[in-house]
A and B are shown apart, each in its own frame.
Chain A
Amino acid sequence: MSAGVATRPPGGVAEPGGPGPTTRRSRADGTAKRRLPLTGNSTPDRLRRVGALLVLGCVVTAVVAAVSGYDRSQAVIESDTRIAALASDAAGLFQSLADADATATSGYVSGRRESPEGRARYDGDVQRAAERLVHAASLLPEGHPATVPVTTLTTQLPVYTGLMETARTYNRSGLPLGQSYLTQASRLMQQTMLPAAAELRALETAELSEAYRRGSALPLAVLLLGLGLLVAVLDVANGERSRTNRLLNPGLVLGGLAVLAALVWWGLATVRTGSALDDASRHTEAVTALDDARTAVLKARSNESLVLVARGGGSGDRTFAGLTEPVAGPDGRGGLLGAAQAGGADVAAVRAAARNWFEAHGQVRALDDSGRFQEAVESVIGTGPSTSGGRFAALDDALAQVISVERDAIVTDVARARDAQALLAVVPPALLLLAGLAIAVGIAQRTAEYR
């Protein structure tokens, strides 16, 4: 390396103070990097070199800021998409399927012709489930893990409805084979389809959390580069000021300010997005807990009907209790509703409705266990305010309402995050490029003075 030759000062400016060997070595590195037009060791050459370095720093930081700003905006947009997918597909799918099953089984308890309302509700559930499957499938890239549960559901839905139609046909003929088909259909739903829908929902929730995390992570790369750049610009500006005993170079000052502005923009966006996505995350947890609670009560409702249809004595009411205990917890205050409350949801109405339904269910079991089967059936299929059927409907409505409020809150939070990140991929990179330009002009002015 020709470091020895290059150190001769042709510009007549004194060597900077400092330990010789270190200086020489690192300068040698610098010259090695930028040998072609910037290899000279005159002051203008060195100025050009430092200018080029700063401009390069600006451009690199601008690129990193653009890429990472774009990635964060994408993460927030993806949160939006995932929320839509989660609300309309995964959770909705689960809801439709569980509701279809609960409707079909409770319709069968009556031992009468299926009511037009029940039939319409079942048909609507199946149709919505199919629509959601089509939509969910259309969003999935090839090889996505959610393909497995979606495939399971897509293949099993027609099997389920087929079993249900066979059950209906036999029931209309007054033959008990219908009940066996109904039981088989319900088993398929409870043991295969609902778990698949739950898996889909879990996958969507995990991806949503990942999008939240990506959208609100501390942008270390941008901040570090920006800070390093700012310090470098300040150092050069300060060095020039003290070297020339002149005022600050306007180009360097403008460049430094632009870098600072970009940093501040990033910092503010990060803080505001973070807080919005934190809120969204909290509400998402609340909705997840509420979805789970709704699922649990739907399953419990199916069980209430099936136990009555099957007159399944002996086993007692353990399945129902096992299904409903997680909803409000063993003491009636915690459980999934407690988790939803911790996420900010107002669950007072749901708690009251749940208590009412559990109480009505207790009466159903008491009636059935004391031999008053017909009265128990009347309560389950009833719609009045004191019947199990009516109170279950009230609970389901209350849950649906809170879930809808919480979902709206998530949408608002994510919109806030989106606003906070608006132009993040554009303005800071533009500011950084502007800084690069200002620095280049400032350095060019200074080198021009050496002509």
Chain B
Amino acid sequence: MNRRAGVEVRRPAVYLGLAGILALGAALVPTTPAAAPPPAAAAPAAPSAPAPACDQVVDSLRPQGPLPEPGAMPPGSTMAAIQQRERLIAGVDQTKYLVGYRNPLTGQLEGTDIDIVRRIAQAIFGDPDRVQFIVYDIADRVKAVEEKQVDLVVNNFSVTCARQLSVEFSAPYQLAQQRLLVPKGSGIREVEDLAGGTVCTSAGSTTERELEALPVDMEVVTEVAIPDCVIRMQQGAVEAVSSDDIILAGLAAQDPQTEVVGRVLATAGYGVGMRKDAPDLVRFVNGVLEQGRDDGSLEESFQRWLGPQLDPAPPPEPRYRD
């Protein structure tokens, strides 16, 4: 290098060439790409257990003597425990107009079923307002009773022998007939007109099984609550909604563009659902219901809420297995 030498072309060219190649490499080597978004979680499926087979609905337990005075429940009884807690815990619905619903103008629960809860609270405490209402989906009613989350369920709870395996019912206080709710002018008069169509009802209801059993080629879809079915019908996604006439009356009352049609597909009796290990409460509630039957206040409540919509049947005569 220090020697006298000729003009060196090679070395600078090598330096530049090397730098160029490295630079090209640096520019071409891919850099770490952005992380991929996390995969979406899969939706869980809700399995429904098949109902165990049974043959016949059994009658309820007979009231024992006259009702105790409000606020003076027999010591050691289930009612005494409720009295000590200072409130009755009742499982109800709040979306069934006229039956068990939250009045959006007041925020209060109202309807025929709510009247029954308040009647029982009145009999225990002498105060119809000592109630904690808990709302359950139709499909969760049996579980609420079984798991002792509530003292009783009053929520269009049809007495069926399958449910009687895990729930003790009061004597039925109201009779219901399963029918159809359709848009006015739809031309649908009977369930057979729904062939090829879609009908909606609430998941876990007796109606769901009745519809599935019908020899009509229709699709049965379910929603968590029956008003969601009406929304779907209003949106044109289903042709009809099927449920008990008492429930359908409340739905028809909210949408004058709908009507209740068709023959009676099934009948059911609504009972107050309670635990099997609290027969004293069942007898007590039957006593409260008899009182309402005898003094006409039960029928009066039905008439007050449902009278404008349908001619409600009077409370059925109770039968007991003793």
Interface assignment of B254: CB less than 8 Å from any CB of chain A: yes
For residues 27 through 61 of chain A, which have their beta carbon under 8 Å from a beta carbon of chain B? 27, 30, 43, 46-47, 49-50, 53-54, 56-57, 60
Given A174-B105, A175-B97, A181–B231 Cβ distance below 8 Å? yes
Q: How far is the CB of A169 from chain B (nearest CB, A)?
A: 11
Output the nearest chain A residue to B228 by Cβ-Cβ distance: A180
Output the nearest chain B residue to A181 by Cβ-Cβ distance: B231
Q: How far is the CB of B50 from chain A (nearest CB, A)?
A: 23
Q: How far is the CB of B136 from chain A (nearest CB, A)?
A: 7
Instruction: Name the residue among B5, B87, B101, B144 with the largest chain A CB count within 10 angstroms.
Output: B5
Cross-chain contact of B94 among A179, A243, A371 (Cβ < 8 A): A179
Q: Chain B residues with Cβ under 8 A from A30's Cβ?
A: 9-10, 13
Given A53-B16, A57-B16, A177-B254, A209–B34 Cβ distance below 8 Å? yes
Number of interface residues of B (CB under 8 A): 66
Q: Chain B residues with Cβ under 8 A from A108's Cβ?
A: 104
Interface assignment of A131: CB less than 8 Å from any CB of chain B: no
Cross-chain contact of A16 among B8, B15, B87 (Cβ < 8 A): B8
Interface assignment of A362: CB less than 8 Å from any CB of chain B: no
Interface assignment of A1: CB less than 8 Å from any CB of chain B: no
Q: Say whether A179 contacts B102, CB under 8 Å.
A: yes
Q: Say whether A217 contacts B227, CB under 8 Å.
A: no
Q: Please count the residue pairs between chain A and chain B whose beta carbons lie under 8 angstroms apart in the complex.
A: 206
Q: Chain B residues with Cβ under 8 A from A333's Cβ?
A: none
Interface assignment of A142: CB less than 8 Å from any CB of chain B: no
Output the nearest chain A residue to B24 by Cβ-Cβ distance: A221
| Stretch of B126-134, B176-184, B206-214 with 4 or more beta carbons under 8 angstroms from chain A | B126-134
Given A177-B254, A242-B5, A221–B27 Cβ distance below 8 Å? yes
Q: Say whether A221 contacts B26, CB under 8 Å.
A: yes
Q: Say whether A232 contacts B15, CB under 8 Å.
A: yes
Q: Chain A residues with Cβ under 8 A from B225's Cβ?
A: 180
Q: How far is the CB of B72 from chain A (nearest CB, A)?
A: 21
Q: How far is the CB of A296 from chain B (nearest CB, A)?
A: 16
| Stretch of A93-101, A306-314, A422-430 with 4 or more beta carbons under 8 angstroms from chain B | A306-314
Q: Chain A residues with Cβ under 8 A from B143's Cβ?
A: 314
Q: How far is the CB of A195 from chain B (nearest CB, A)?
A: 8
Within the assembled complex, what's the spacing in Å between the Cα atoms of A226 and B16? 9
Within the assembled complex, what's the spacing in Å between the Cα atoms of A287 and B106? 41
Within the assembled complex, what's the spacing in Å between the Cα atoms of A220 and B23? 6
Q: How far is the CB of A438 from chain B (nearest CB, A)?
A: 16
For residues 170 through 205 of chain A, which have their beta carbon under 8 Å from a beta carbon of chain B? 170-172, 174-181, 183-184, 199, 202-203
Cross-chain contact of A177 among B11, B31, B147, B231 (Cβ < 8 A): B231
Q: Say whether A43 contacts B12, CB under 8 Å.
A: no
Output the nearest chain A residue to B8 by Cβ-Cβ distance: A239
Q: How far is the CB of A320 from chain B (nearest CB, A)?
A: 16
Within the assembled complex, what's the spacing in Å between the Cα atoms of A61 and B260? 84
Contact count band on A: 35 or more
Q: Say whether B12 contacts A16, CB under 8 Å.
A: no
Q: How far is the CB of A444 from chain B (nearest CB, A)?
A: 14
Q: Say whether B97 contacts A177, CB under 8 Å.
A: yes
Cross-chain contact of A111 among B108, B130, B131, B254 (Cβ < 8 A): B108
Interface assignment of A377: CB less than 8 Å from any CB of chain B: yes
Q: Say whether A313 contacts B135, CB under 8 Å.
A: yes
Given A175-B97, A235-B15, A312–B135 Cβ distance below 8 Å? yes
Q: Say whether B7 contacts A26, CB under 8 Å.
A: no
Interface assignment of B44: CB less than 8 Å from any CB of chain A: no
Interface assignment of B167: CB less than 8 Å from any CB of chain A: no
Dominant secondary structure of chain B at its interface with chain A: mixed
Within the assembled complex, what's the spacing in Å between the Cα atoms of A15 and B6? 6
Interface assignment of B18: CB less than 8 Å from any CB of chain A: yes
Within the assembled complex, what's the spacing in Å between the Cα atoms of A178 and B31? 54
Q: How far is the CB of B85 from chain A (nearest CB, A)?
A: 9
Within the assembled complex, what's the spacing in Å between the Cα atoms of A49 and B9? 7
Cross-chain contact of B105 among A60, A111, A202 (Cβ < 8 A): A111
Q: Chain B residues with Cβ under 8 A from A311's Cβ?
A: 94, 133-135
Q: Chain B residues with Cβ under 8 A from A366's Cβ?
A: none
Cross-chain contact of A184 among B11, B102, B228 (Cβ < 8 A): B228
Instruction: Name the residue among B7, B37, B134, B230 with the largest chain A CB count within 10 angstroms.
Output: B7
Q: Chain B residues with Cβ under 8 A from A227's Cβ?
A: 19
Cross-chain contact of B133 among A16, A111, A314, A373 (Cβ < 8 A): A373
Within the assembled complex, what's the spacing in Å between the Cα atoms of A112 and B130? 22
Within the assembled complex, what's the spacing in Å between the Cα atoms of A229 and B14? 10
Interface assignment of B165: CB less than 8 Å from any CB of chain A: no
Q: Say whether B107 contacts A184, CB under 8 Å.
A: no
Q: How far is the CB of A311 from chain B (nearest CB, A)?
A: 4
Interface assignment of B2: CB less than 8 Å from any CB of chain A: yes
Q: Chain A residues with Cβ under 8 A from B13's Cβ?
A: 26, 30, 53, 232
Interface assignment of B68: CB less than 8 Å from any CB of chain A: no
Q: Say whether A176 contacts B34, CB under 8 Å.
A: no
Q: Chain A residues with Cβ under 8 A from B251's Cβ?
A: 177
Q: How far is the CB of B212 from chain A (nearest CB, A)?
A: 24
Q: Say whether A236 contacts B227, CB under 8 Å.
A: no
Q: Chain B residues with Cβ under 8 A from A235's Cβ?
A: 8, 11-12, 15
Instruction: Name the residue among B6, B89, B254 with the largest chain A CB count within 10 angstroms.
Output: B6
Apart from A176-B227, A177-B251, A235-B15, 18 more pairs, CB < 8 Å: A16-B5, A17-B3, A46-B7, A53-B9, A53-B13, A108-B104, A174-B103, A176-B97, A179-B104, A209-B34, A220-B23, A228-B15, A235-B12, A242-B5, A243-B7, A311-B133, A312-B135, A314-B140
A-B contact pairs, 22 of them (CB 8 A): A23-B10, A27-B10, A54-B12, A111-B108, A112-B105, A175-B97, A176-B96, A176-B103, A176-B254, A220-B22, A221-B27, A224-B23, A225-B23, A229-B15, A231-B19, A232-B16, A238-B1, A239-B7, A239-B8, A310-B94, A310-B135, A311-B94
Interface residues of B (CB under 8 A from A): 1-16, 18-20, 22-24, 26-27, 31, 34-35, 37, 86-87, 89, 91, 94-97, 101-108, 130-136, 140, 143-144, 147, 149-150, 225, 227-228, 230-231, 251, 253-255
7 nearest CB pairs, A to B:
A111-B107, A228-B19, A313-B134, A220-B26, A232-B12, A371-B132, A180-B227
